[in-house]
Every structure is written in structure tokens, then in C-alpha cells.
């Protein structure tokens, strides 16, 4: 281990560092009765090396948000800049999206998918480990827009292999994954889930996420998986979808994949003066919300409309979500016409035991009329 440290780190560990590393139960087998046998921990050298204590193993990762460095975090879990959907290919993916492109931290690249044609998913990744990563595979799934991306919502888009992902933490772009026209349901916005790994740093598989404890762990603590649930929408109301003058932002809030659990929803908006916001939820939520502020009832559509703070947050109470349930909701936003030239942001996040387990983020900005007409088609 000292030899590997010298080769990779340029120095040898002190006796204290060596004792600390070799006695770590996370990379060894602890004695069943250390007070009596005084053995302590039997170190597993393979686990120590693969755990990158000596800077030898590759560590490939996809970011959950632009400032993500690959460590466990408490930041956003749905705004990955590393999954980019486009209706056409680019001539130089590395030059367009890689290190030095100027797009490294953009979350608004490739937010829209065109129906009726092939689309292309670009994935970019980093390797912060001590050696190059050979034969790295990335796999992308899509989901309807949802505050909780449970695996029963995932549909495979495809996979790509990179023969070598160099060390050095350089943002490197995979060749595009083709999303065939026949597999795309309709023009619109989608959530994406990305996995990455190789033999030395394996990615989780879809079945791993069916266990709720694993799901919560993978959300923030596993850098081989990421989520993109960031949508750019037009802030001009569309009378055909909502004649009341609000921009309607539909999404779903699912239950856990294993059993009945309690969740809460929080809406956070940063809108201008005079803006209005409402959360539209199923009518059967009425009893759970009865003691938590005013709401309007729309019997015809079988929904409740809850007023939302347009310049702050609104936290709904915890409610029971049945396993694998999929409640359909809409966030309704109205921005005064004189303020529509600027972009604004709003999100809805789903909480479990006060911990965020998913969110949907919208960036509302003025979209050119020609583009709006194209979207409608």
C-alpha cells in the first residue's frame, strides 16, 4: 500500500496514517469480540485500494447540480447539467459540451425533445480518481415529469460505452445515445435518470432502487447516478391549455415503490411583483388539507386549487401516499405581461421525513412565437 501511495500520491503515509487506514472497519473485517481477542480489524487491501485511499482507483461520476464535485451532498438532486437532449447531433460534442466549451455548468442545454424524429442524448462525465477508467458505460432512462423518480416510472433510452475516461476530473462527453422516433411518446418535457460505471467503479442497476432505503442512499450518496428534472417553459399563457390566463405546468407526485409512506410537498417560487401561483391537486386530498389553509374546489375537474406564495414557499402537510401511486398535479403560474421579458424559476419538491427525495424545477422565460408554434405541432 505504501508503494502504491508513493506512485500515485508522491509520498508515503506516516505510521499514524497507516494505523488509521488499516484499522478502519469500513475497509476490513471487524473482530466479533475485540475487548477479548484484541484483534480489532483485519484489513482488506483490495477494499482499501478500490476505495481510493491511495489514489489508485478510478472514480467516475455524473453531477446532480453544477457545483456537485462527486461527494455526498445536500444540494439539488434534479438539475444535472450532464444529460443533454437534442433533436439533432453536433459535429464536435467535446468542443460543444466538454471542458472549456463555456457550457460546463449550464442546466438549460437540451431541455426539449421533438416528437416524430430521432433525438440524441449527450452524457458528459468526470473521473476524479487516480487512474483512467476503462470501458465506461453510461445508461439513460426517461420518465414523465415527476417529483419522485421511482424506478417503476423509468423507460430505457439507451446506453453508450467510452473506451477510456481519463483521470484528472476533466469533463468528457460520450458519443450520443440515439432515442428513436418510434420510442418517443410526444413532444414535451421529460425527466432523465443517468447511470455510469465500469468494472472498477460499477453503477447501480435499476433493481437496486426498488428498496426504499437504497433509493434514498443513491439519491445523494452515490455519484454513479444522476437525475435531470429541469424544464424550460414559455411564460406566456396558452389559452388552449388554461383559459384562466395561467401557465399550466403538469407533473406527477408518486408514492414509494415498496409500501404506503408519508410524504409532504413544498412549492417554492421566485416570481415578480403582481404574479400569482396556485397548486392544483386531486380532490381526494381535500380531507388531508382541510385544516391547512384555504383552497378552491373545482367539482367539474375534480381538483383543489391551493394558493401558493409567488415569492417564497408553501409547505403542504404530510399525507399518506399509497405504494406506486401517481397523483396528477399542476402548478399554475401567472406573470404580469410587463415582467415577462425576464426569466423566473419555480420548483416543487417531495419530502420524506423532512428530507428532499425529489423535485421538479421550471425555468419560465419568454419563448419566440415561432418556437411556441413548433412546440404545439
Bridge-partner residues for 360, per DSSP? 348
Q: 106 and 217, same structural domain?
A: yes
Is residue 186 predicted with pLDDT exceeding 50? yes
Please report the pLDDT score of residue 75 as a whole number. Answer: 82
Ranges 72-81, 161-170, 301-310, 332-341: which has the least confidence: 72-81
Average pLDDT, the chain: 89
Average pLDDT over residues 341-358: 95
CB contact set of 65 (below 8 Å; sequence gap of 6+): 75, 76, 77, 79, 80, 81, 107
Q: Select the more confidently predicted residue: 108 or 99.
A: 99
Residues 207 and 294 in one domain: no
Q: Are 115 and 187 in contact (CB under 8 A)?
A: yes
106 and 236 share a domain? no
Match 487506514 to its residue by C-alpha cell. Answer: 21
Give 376's pLDDT tier (boundaries 50, 70, 90).
very low
Residue 373's pLDDT is 43
What is the bridge-based pairing of β-strands 326-334 and 247-254?
antiparallel
Quote the pLDDT of residue 377.
41
As a whole number of Å, the end-to-end CA separation of the chain is 62
CB-facing half-sphere around the CA of 263: CA atoms within 13 A = 27
CATH code of 319's domain: 2.60.40
Alpha helices (runs of H) in the chain, residue ranges in sequence order: 2-9, 15-22, 34-37, 45-50, 93-97, 212-221, 286-289, 369-376
* Predicted local confidence at residue 33, as pLDDT: 83
Q: Is 262 exposed, middle or buried (0-12, 13-18, 19+ CB in 10 A)?
A: middle
Residues 171, 247, single domain; the answer is no
Judge if 319 and 336 occupy the same domain: yes
Both 139 and 32 in one domain: the answer is: no
Q: Does residue 371 register a pLDDT over 70?
A: no
The winner for highest mean pLDDT among 69-83, 164-178, 193-207, 211-225 is 164-178
pLDDT digits (tens, 9 = 90+) for 120-135: 999 999 998 878 899 9
What is the DSSP secondary structure assignment for residue 367, as one 8-state letter? -
- Give pLDDT, residue 375: 46
Question: Mean pLDDT, to the nearest integer, of 308-318?
Answer: 96
**pLDDT band at residue 19 using 50, 70 and 90 as cut-offs:** confident
Residue 69 in any domain: the answer is yes
Structural contact between residues 344 and 315, judged by C-beta atoms closer than 8 angstroms: no
What pLDDT, on the 0 to 100 scale, is given for residue 166?
95
Kindly report, residue by residue over 272-284, the tens digit of the pLDDT.
999 999 999 999 9
Bridge partners of residue 133, in order along the sequence: 165
Q: Are residues 87 and 194 in the same domain?
A: yes
Considering the domain architecture, whether residues 239 and 214 belong to the same structural domain is answered as: no
Domain encompassing residue 30 = 2-50
261: confidence class by pLDDT, cuts 50, 70, 90: very high
Mark whether 88 and 166 lie in a shared domain: yes
The verdict on 156 and 204 lying in the same domain is yes
Last residue of some domain: 28, 50, 72? 50
Count, residues in the chain: 377
Please report whether residue 19 resides in a domain. yes
Q: Is residue 93 part of a domain?
A: yes
The domain tally of the chain equals: 3
Tell how far CA 319 is from the center of its chain.
Answer: 23
Answer yes or no: are the C-beta atoms of 255 and 261 closer than 8 Å: yes
Share of the chain above pLDDT 90, in %: 61
Whether 55 maps to a domain, the answer reads no
Position 374 pLDDT exceeds 70:
no
- 360 pLDDT more than 60: yes
Strand order in the sheet with 225-228: 155-165, 133-143, 191-197, 225-228
Among 228, 255, 276, the domain boundary falls at: 228
Residues 357, 244 share a domain: yes
Whether residues 173 and 303 fall in one domain: no
**How sure is the predictor about 368, in pLDDT bands with cuts at 50, 70 and 90?**
low
Pairing of strands 119-127, 191-197: unpaired
Query: What does the pLDDT look like over 85-95, one tens digit per residue?
Result: 999 999 999 99
The residues near 218 (Cβ < 8 Å, ≥ 6 apart) are 204, 208, 209, 225
DSSP state of 188: B
Amino acid at each position: 500500500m505504501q508503494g502504491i501511495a508513493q506512485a500515485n500520491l508522491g509520498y508515503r503515509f506516516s505510521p499514524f496514517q497507516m494505523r488509521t487506514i488499516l484499522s478502519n472497519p469500513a475497509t476490513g473485517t471487524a473482530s466479533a469480540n475485540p475487548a477479548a481477542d484484541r484483534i480489532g480489524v483485519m484489513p482488506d487491501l483490495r477494499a482499501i485500494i478500490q476505495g481510493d485511499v491511495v489514489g489508485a482507483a478510478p472514480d467516475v461520476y455524473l453531477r446532480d447540480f453544477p457545483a456537485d464535485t462527486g461527494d455526498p451532498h445536500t444540494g439539488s438532486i434534479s438539475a444535472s447539467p450532464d444529460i443533454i437532449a437534442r433533436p439533432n447531433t453536433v459535429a464536435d460534442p467535446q468542443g460543444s459540451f466538454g471542458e472549456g466549451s463555456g457550457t460546463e455548468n449550464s442546466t438549460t442545454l437540451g431541455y426539449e425533445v421533438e416528437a416524430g424524429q430521432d433525438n440524441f442524448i449527450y452524457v458528459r462525465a468526470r473521473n476524479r480518481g487516480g487512474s483512467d477508467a476503462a470501458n465506461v458505460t453510461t445508461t439513460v432512462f426517461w420518465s414523465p415529469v415527476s417529483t419522485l423518480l421511482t424506478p417503476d416510472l423509468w423507460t430505457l433510452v439507451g446506453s453508450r460505452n467510452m473506451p477510456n475516461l481519463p483521470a484528472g476530473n476533466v469533463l468528457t462527453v460520450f458519443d450520443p445515445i440515439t432515442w428513436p422516433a418510434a420510442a418517443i411518446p410526444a413532444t414535451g418535457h421529460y425527466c432523465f435518470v443517468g447511470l455510469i460505471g465500469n468494472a472498477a467503479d460499477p453503477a447501480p442497476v435499476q433493481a437496486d432502487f426498488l428498496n426504499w432505503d437504497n433509493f434514498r442512499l443513491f439519491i445523494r450518496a452515490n455519484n454513479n447516478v444522476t437525475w435531470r428534472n429541469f424544464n424550460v417553459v414559455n411564460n406566456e399563457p396558452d389559452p388552449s391549455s388554461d383559459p384562466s390566463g395561467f401557465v399550466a405546468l403538469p407533473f406527477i407526485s408518486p408514492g414509494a415503490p415498496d409500501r404506503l409512506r408519508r410524504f409532504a410537498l413544498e412549492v417554492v417560487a421566485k416570481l415578480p411583483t403582481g404574479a400569482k401561483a396556485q397548486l392544483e391537486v386531486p380532490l381526494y386530498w381535500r380531507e388531508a388539507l382541510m385544516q391547512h389553509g384555504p383552497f378552491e374546489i373545482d367539482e367539474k375537474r375534480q381538483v383543489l386549487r391551493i394558493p401558493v406564495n409567488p415569492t417564497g414557499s408553501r409547505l403542504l402537510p404530510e399525507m399518506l401516499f399509497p405504494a406506486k401511486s401517481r397523483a396528477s398535479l399542476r402548478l399554475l403560474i401567472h406573470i404580469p405581461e410587463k415582467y415577462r421579458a425576464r426569466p423566473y424559476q419555480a420548483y416543487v419538491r417531495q419530502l420524506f421525513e423532512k428530507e428532499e427525495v425529489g423535485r421538479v424545477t421550471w425555468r419560465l422565460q419568454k419563448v419566440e412565437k415561432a418556437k411556441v408554434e413548433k412546440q404545439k405541432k
